[in-house]
Amino acid sequence: MSIAAGGASPSLKYDQAVARFPWLDYGTFAIPDAWADVILWARYFWMQNGDYRQSMKMVASYFVTGLDFKDISDEEREDYKDFFKESVNYSRECVALGCDFNAYGEVIRTLFFPTHRSLRCTGCGFEQPIKQAEYEWKNFDFFRKSPCPLCGQRAGEKLDRVDRKDTDMSKVRVNRWDPALVQVAWSAASQQSAYWLRIPATLKKQITEGVEVVIKDIPWEFVECVQQQRDLELDPEMVFHEYHRDITGIMENGRGLSPAVSNFRLFWLIQTLNRQDQAIAIDYITGLRLYSPAPQNSVSTGGANSLGADPMLNRGGNDFVSSMRAIINSHRADPTKRFTAPHPVSYQFTGGEGKQLSPYDMIAQRKEELLHASGVPVNFYKLNLSDQGAPMMLRLFEVNWCEIPAMYNRFLQWIVNHLVNSFKTADCKIMLKRTTVADDLDRKQALMSLMSGNQIAPSTALEPYGIDDIRAEIRKVFEHQRILAEEQQKSDEEMQKMQESGVLKQMTALPNASAMAGQGAPPGGDPSQGGAPPSPSAMAQQGGGNQSLADLEAQAQSIAQQLLPMPYEQRVPELKKIRETNKTLHSLVMSQLKDMRQQAQSAGGQQMIQGMAGQQPVG
């Protein structure tokens, strides 16, 4: 970047310009001038700065919610949901769309529509799918590898390519393109664009070599462009292009500018601090350990060999170094080994002040500054949303990044429009559901209250809780009720079996209304009948079909009193016979049996049973 570009007068010397104009700092001179360099720097920042990358990905992921379809039937809605969730994986594509937009400042997408590619014999017209045909790829065309099974056309002859539209909508895919590989011609008046794709080098190599997985279904326009060594002109209707719009005067050519350019100085400063931190970690963390002979003060006034003299005065330094090196190496091999030094040793440690020198606080401060400059609240990045002001912060965050969900909705609608044109699917309006993270508990409770008062639909009240398929939830409720009824019936039957040896047997000793009314009658039933009383199923057949409700209730009570003392194995067949004879009477009998059991288990019934515990049951 030149000094004149920075605002300084060209007549000033370099050092004078730097001193007078503070914005001509070190980072400014590293700012790229060419748009292609901006793309490379944006990619480098994304790959090398983990905090920046993760924060931008969190922004892209925050707005990916469930799908909402308008003006279509339930069956068509399910078909679209299966396509976007299983075939396209819309959540992954939307996150990738947001990441590219935040990193590069623009996104370019196209759609791949499946094709059935076959190879046809030029002699007899025999046609085979390319997956089954034996061919040789040469000079960007197909040639026969073996004779034709019908006409015997010899190997080496050319095969005709036949492409047919595949009606399997699940094979539709979204193609992502590097903005650096796409040239755009833009009209400032009509706001229309034309696009040319420079085919990536890897794809060119695969087409030239005839890689099977590539040439079996790739659009033939790619092959022709590689063969002719030219760029591929894209149909503007088939291109989804969104770019970041800055203030007027910047990138007014239909292209987007990476937001990383505005924060280039911060990236440069953070990287400079990281480099200094790395140097400190290398030189000042471990420290330096020194070993030297310990000095000894002489206690004698004699010569060098007198008692108490320094023993190192008559020894060379090489002996000390070699002996200490041997001890250190042996200690590294066996840390528990003990050593003997031939003379006193002095040990010193220097360095190791890297923790005090590390610019950790400065790096953390600059990273928070980068997050703020990129539009990401620090609490959002740290997932600290426990403050009372978090809902308001999230609302402001959503407003600040409103272009991201709007871009997602346009992208999804663009896909639907092409599906309608190519596969004649139902035309509908699609969009992502609004985010619900910022919704507080008060709002959710208010929605539930309105739903209980039938003032709003259940789908509206349950939407903040992630429940969007009301029909599926209703089916789950009915299934739960069915299972609950089955388990309740099993429990009742088990209770009846358990009561057979207890309460029900003792109930036979209790006086009932018919027994009290017929005291003194001979055993075996009514004297007028001259025999045993009829069975419950036989009693159910008496009375005919013109009985009143009161007569049915009296008959049900009489039958229930006779059924209650019966063992479970005898009572169940009688109840089945009654149900086959008269379903209404069967319902009344079951109700009477239930009431009798409850009365028997009440406090008064328990006292009566306890008072008659010593009696034996009749029959």
Long-range contacts of 76-81 (CB under 8 A, 24+ apart): 76/425, 76/426, 76/428, 79/425, 80/416, 80/425, 80/426, 80/428, 80/430
Query: CA of 131: how far to CAs of 127, 142, 216, 222, 504, in Å?
Result: 12, 13, 7, 20, 77
Quickly state the pLDDT bin for 522 (edges 50, 70, 90). very low
Q: How many Å apart are CA 118 and CA 132, to the nearest integer? A: 9
Q: How many residues does the chain have?
A: 619
Quickly state the pLDDT bin for 525 (edges 50, 70, 90). very low
pLDDT tens digits, one per residue of 123-163:
999 999 999 999 999 999 999 999 999 999 999 999 999 99
Q: How many Å apart are CA 543 and CA 266, to the nearest integer? A: 99
Position of tokens 């590219």? Answer: 100
Contact of 97 with 88, CB cutoff 8 Å:
no
The candidate with the shortest Cα–Cα distance to 149, out of 117, 125, 116, is 125
Does residue 552 lie within any of the structural domains? yes
Task: Provide the percentage of residues in the chain whose pLDDT is more than 90.
Answer: 44
Q: In 226-385, where do the E strands start and end?
A: 232-234, 239-243, 288-293, 345-350
Contact of 181 with 192, CB cutoff 8 Å:
no
Quickly state the pLDDT bin for 272 (edges 50, 70, 90). very high
Contact of 295 with 310, CB cutoff 8 Å:
yes
Which range, 289-293, 319-323, 364-368, has the best average confidence (pLDDT)?
364-368
If phi > 0 it is left, if psi is from -120 to 50 it is alpha, else beta; for residue 213 that is: alpha
Average pLDDT over residues 43-61: 94
Top pLDDT among 359 and 506 is at: 359
Does residue 584 lie within any of the structural domains? yes
297: number of Cβ within 10 Å: 7
pLDDT (0 to 100) of residue 348: 81
Q: In 485-567, where do the E strands start and end?
A: none
Does residue 388 lie within any of the structural domains? no
Q: How many Å apart are CA 445 and CA 461, to the nearest integer? A: 9
Contact of 404 with 98, CB cutoff 8 Å:
yes
Does residue 583 lie within any of the structural domains? yes
pLDDT tens digits, one per residue of 425-462:
999 999 998 887 666 656 677 777 887 888 787 777 77
Does residue 435 lie within any of the structural domains? no
Does residue 565 lie within any of the structural domains? yes
pLDDT (0 to 100) of residue 612: 40
pLDDT (0 to 100) of residue 340: 82
Number of structural domains found in the chain? 1
Does residue 246 lie within any of the structural domains? no
Query: Mean pLDDT, the chain, as a whole number?
Result: 82
Query: pTM score, two decimals?
Result: 0.67
Does residue 328 lie within any of the structural domains? no
Q: How many Å apart are CA 76 and CA 286, to the nearest integer? A: 67
Q: Where in the sequence is the domain holding 560, given as residue range(s)?
A: 503-513+536-619
